[in-house]
Structures are given as C-alpha cells and as structure tokens.
Amino acid sequence: AADEEELRGLGLGYRADYVLQTARALQSRSDGWLEGLRRSEDPEEVRQELCTLRGVGPKVADCVALFSLDQCEAVPVDTHVWDIACREFDPSLRECASLTPAVYARVGELFRSRFGVCSGWAHQLLFAAELPQFRSRLPEDIVEQMQLWRAEEKSLKQQAAA
C-alpha cells in the first residue's frame, strides 16, 4: 500500500491524505457497504453516506454516485454546471451570489425534472459540450447561443464590478 508521500508524488497533492483515510474507512466498513449504496434508490442517502468520508463533499459524492455506483440521477454541480442551468433552464439562478447548498440542490432538481432517471448522464453530455475540444461537433446555432450567453454573462459581471 502506498503512503501519503508516495501519493503526493503521484500528483495527488493535498488529496493524498484524503485518499489514504478513505481507503482505511472503506476497509473498516462492512463488505456490502458500497454495494448497498449501488442498490439504493435514494440518491440523497447515497450522497450523505459518501459525504461521511473525509474530503468528500456533495460534488465528489455525486461524481462517485454517478460514475461508480450506478446512481444515474446524481448530478454533480460546479460553477460550469450552474452556468448551464442558468442558460438552459432557469435564468433567475444568475441572481444567486454563490453556489450554496440550496443552489446546488436547485440545479440538480432542474436537471432531474428535465431529464428524469438519466439526468446525471444528460448533465455529463451538456458539460462535455461546453469543452472547446467538442464544440466543433455541435450544431452552429447551439454554438452561437452559447457564445451569446457567455458575452452576456461577461457584460453582466463587468457591470456588477463597476
């Protein structure tokens, strides 16, 4: 087993301690703990359980739930996903000053109400579409809409700063 210094050497930085502590915590739990989370039909329960692990917050918990535990309704939310939700679903979210737990929950609910049981994977496709390397694969009108929205966002931020 690797120690913290070895994990830091692999590029994990400050996360090295979290990885070690999480590995130890997983070893100390019952053999069926992760499998029980995979079978759970309550995404909130899965998130809360994963958040008991050191260094795991809501976004990381939702990433693990979506990508490793078959929780297809888990929607990991960061500022990029928040921007997508503002542009595509609810422009009033722009008025929120930061990504609070309430905003995080609202963004997830917007995805779940729009995409249902596949909301986590829909989130992933929309997130990837924002990346420059995939933009050329999108229809021109969608790219234009995204560029207009970014310009508007930039303008609003400049006005707020003035």
Distance CA 142, CA 78 (A): 21
HEC-encoded secondary structure of 4-37: HHHHHHHHHCCHHHHHHHHHHHHHHCCCCHHHHH
Residue type, 150: R
Give me the catalytic one of 12, 59, 89, 138: 59
Kindly write down the DSSP assignment for every residue of 66-80, as one continuous string.
HHHS--TT-----HH
| CB of 115 closer than 8 Å to CB of 56 | no
59 among known catalytic residues: yes
Total residue count of the chain as it appears in this document: 162
Distances (CA, A) of 122 to 46, 47, 108, 117, 146: 19, 19, 11, 10, 17
Which residues are part of the catalytic machinery? Answer: 59
